[in-house]
Amino acid sequence: MTTTVGILGGGQLARMLALSGAPLGLRFLAMDTEPDACAGQFAPLLVGDYRDERALAEFAAAVDVATFDFENVPAESAHWLAERVPVFPNPHALSVAQDRLVEKTLFRNLGIPVGAFAAVDSRAQLDAEVARIGGACILKTRRLGYDGKGQFRIRSEADLDAAWQALGGQAQTVGLIVEAFIPFERELSVVAVRGRDGEFRAWPLTENWHVDGVLSASLAPTRTDAALAEQAFGYARALAGKLDYVGVFALELFCRDGQLLANELAPRVHNSGHWTIEGAETSQFQNHLRAVLGLPLGATHMRGHACMLNWIGALPDGGAVLREAGGHWHDYGKSPRQGRKVGHATLRADSPEALARALRSVGAALGRESQVAPVLDALSGIRAG
C-alpha cells in the first residue's frame, strides 16, 4: 500500500521533501494558499487556506501522516488536524517555536543560554526594557517573523521612536519581544532529527552567514572544538526531548567569546541543512520523512566538506557550478522576486583546500566574491587548525 505524506506549505522545503521521498516510494500532497507554490511541480497541490476546515478535511482524508514546510500554520489548524491524522512535529512543539517569547523562555528553563530578552506590550515598556538590558537591542515581532522580517535594530535611545513606529502597531496582535543585540563572532546551527522512538541524531555543526537577516552561505563541517559541538548537540537533544519532537529541526546559535547563546528553533527542515543533500550520508529531507514515518533514521555523517550558497531574488547562471566536480545546482522553479529564495548551490569536496578552490572559481565566475569571502576565511581557519 502506498503511503501519502501531507505537507502543510508548498514551498521549496516541501519540494525537496517530495524529491527525497521518491526513492522511498512515497506519495505526497502539499497544501498551500498559493496556486503556483513550487512544490506543486512535483506533488499534487491542494490550494486552500489553513483555517478553512473544508480544505483541511480534504487534506486529512487524503494523507496518512502530516508534516510542515512552513511553521506559521495556525496552531488551531495543526491541533484540528492532529485529531484526524498523525501530525509531526506535534502541534505543541510547533506552537512553542512560533512564539519567540515562549521559545526563549523554554531555552532558559532548560538551562540553554540565551541573551537578555523581555516581552514588550507598550512604548513605556520598550523604553524601560531597553534601559534595563543596556546597549544595543533588537525589537522583534513574537510571531510570524522570518528571514529578518519584523525586526528593528535599536542602536541607541535615539532609535526608540523609529522602532516603535515600525513595529508598535503589532504589539497587541502578534506581540513584541526585545532582545539584547549579540555582537557574535559566528553564527552556528545544529540541524538534528529525532525519531518517533526518541532516537536523536545530528549532522555536523554548520556555520552560517546572513545578509540583511537572510541566510547567504553555510559551511560544514566548521571550525569548532569538540566540546563546543557537544554542548550544542546537548542543547538540541534536551530541547527535542522536552518537546517530544519528531522530525528534523534546526537550533540557531550565536557564538561569542567561545560561548553559545541560542537564538531560535526552526521546527522543520532548514535552509542551513540544504548541504546535507549531497554532503551527508542521509539528507535532512530523507531523515525527516523517515522520522515522521517511524522508519529507521539514516546516518548523518558527512561526505567530505560542503558549502551551500543561497540564491536570493534571481538565479545566477548555473554553468559555473555545474562545471565543478562537486557542484550541485538547485533551482526551485520560482519566478524571480526581490528577497525571494529562488535556489541554491552546494559545492562538495574531499578536502577544505579543494572546497576553497571550487568556491573561489564559482565566486569569480558569478561575480559573487563577497558571498564566498567569509566562507573562504573560515576554510583557511580549518586548514590552519
Out of 210, 237, 357, 360, point to the residue binding ligand AMP (CB under 6 A): 210
Out of 74, 113, 148, 168, point to the residue binding ligand AMP (CB under 6 A): 148
Per-residue CA distances from 357 to 49, 223, 314, 348, 376 (Å): 47, 18, 25, 11, 9
- Counting contacts by CB under 6 A, is residue 101 touching ligand AMP? no
Out of 129, 264, 278, 324, point to the residue binding ligand AMP (CB under 6 A): 264
- Counting contacts by CB under 6 A, is residue 187 touching ligand AMP? yes
Q: How far is the CB of 334 from ligand AMP (least distance, A)?
A: 21
d(CA 93, CA 166): 29
- Counting contacts by CB under 6 A, is residue 129 touching ligand AMP? no
Residue 251: phi, psi to the nearest 5?
A: -110, 115
Only segment of 53-61, 82-90, 179-187, 307-315 that touches ligand AMP (CB under 6 A): 179-187
In sequence order, what E strands does the chain have?
4-8, 27-32, 45-47, 65-68, 117-120, 137-141, 151-154, 176-180, 186-194, 200-202, 206-211, 214-220, 247-256, 259-266, 305-312, 327-331, 341-349
Which CB sits closer to ligand AMP, 4 or 105? 105
Out of 69, 103, 129, 179, point to the residue binding ligand AMP (CB under 6 A): 179
Q: How far is the CB of 241 from ligand AMP (least distance, A)?
A: 23
Contacts for 310 with CB less than 8 Å, ≥ 6 apart: 214, 215, 216, 217, 271, 341, 344
| Residue number of the CB atom closest to ligand AMP | 182
* Residue 144 grid cell: 510570524
Which CB sits closer to ligand AMP, 31 or 190? 190
- Counting contacts by CB under 6 A, is residue 138 touching ligand AMP? yes
Out of 74, 86, 113, 213, point to the residue binding ligand AMP (CB under 6 A): 213
Residue 304: phi, psi to the nearest 5?
A: 75, -135
Q: How far is the CB of 216 from ligand AMP (least distance, A)?
A: 10
- Residue 295 half-sphere exposure, CB side, CA atoms within 13 Å? 14
In sequence order, what E strands does 229-326 have?
247-256, 259-266, 305-312
- Counting contacts by CB under 6 A, is residue 207 touching ligand AMP? no
Report the interface residues with ligand AMP, using CB under 6 A.
115, 138, 145, 148, 179, 181-182, 187, 210, 213, 252, 263-264
